[in-house]
């Protein structure tokens, strides 16, 4: 996996169309497992973790509203 395959919590929240604090709450409360990667001390979502977050919020690839050109590709890609 390359660094450009990772998304920040803000990018994932934007991709899913939710506020960042909802995603942070889901992680800190244990509804979504703590992420396995960090980049520069911040949470970094792999494609699989983005799919897990999307599933938690009841979304699939058609529900995502991505301002990021690569984000939808990351959501669709399998590791």
**Domain presence at residue 56:** yes
**Domain presence at residue 47:** yes
Q: φ and ψ at 62, to 5 degrees?
A: -80, -15
Q: Could you give the number of structural domains in the chain? A: 1
Residue 41 DSSP one-character state: T
pLDDT exceeds cutoff 50 at 57: yes
**Domain presence at residue 34:** yes
pLDDT for 27 = 92
Range of the domain at 12: 3-73
pLDDT for 34 = 82
Give, for 38, the enclosing helix (H) or strand (E).
Answer: strand 38-39
Which burial class, exposed, middle or buried, applies to 49 when counting CB atoms under 10 A from its CB (0-12, 13-18, 19+)?
A: buried
CA dist., res. 72 & res. 67, Å (int): 9
Q: φ and ψ at 40, to 5 degrees?
A: 55, 40
**Domain presence at residue 29:** yes
- The enclosing domain of 23 has a CATH number of 1.10.1660
């Amino acid at each position: 996996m390359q660094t450009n395959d990772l998304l920040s919590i803000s990018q994932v929240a934007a991709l899913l169309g939710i506020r960042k604090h909802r995603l942070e709450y889901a992680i800190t409360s244990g509804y979504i497992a703590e992420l396995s990667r960090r980049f520069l001390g911040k949470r970094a979502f792999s494609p699989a973790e983005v799919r897990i977050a999307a599933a938690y919020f009841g979304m699939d690839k058609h529900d995502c509203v991505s301002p990021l050109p690569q984000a939808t590709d990351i959501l669709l890609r399998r590791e």
